[in-house]
Amino acid sequence: MSLIKATDDDFSTLLNNNEKVVVKYYADWCGSCRLIAPKYNKLAESGNYNGVAFLDVNAEQSPEARKAAKVDNLPFFAVFKNGQLVEGSSAGKIEFVEKLIEKIN
């Protein structure tokens, strides 16, 4: 599945229309966010996680989406199942993101 750029306008709809969702919260000024972005994109396009929607959310431009996961640092990753937050945490390693996805897969 390819990466979906999400905003406050469509975030709730995407959560409700997809059973399993992983979200990367980032900011344009965040160096660590830029470093992990290509790895996250590869994960989304790998085909290893059928049925999981991969979202990319600019935390500064989408405050409601940010509140939904209680984002406190960037980059921040969160997993949702059936529209509900399962877990979220700040992380700079893709291995952590893979472990998060296992919690909803």
Selected catalytic residue, list 30, 43, 44, 52: 30
Is 34 labeled as catalytic in the residue annotation?
no
Between CA 9 and CA 1 the distance in angstroms is 21
Selected catalytic residue, list 15, 22, 33, 74: 33
CB 87 within 8 A of CB 70: no
As given in the structure block, the two tokens for residue 98 are 């893979």
Q: Looking up tokens 């929607």, which residue turns up? A: 53
Is 55 labeled as catalytic in the residue annotation?
no
Catalytic residues: 30, 33
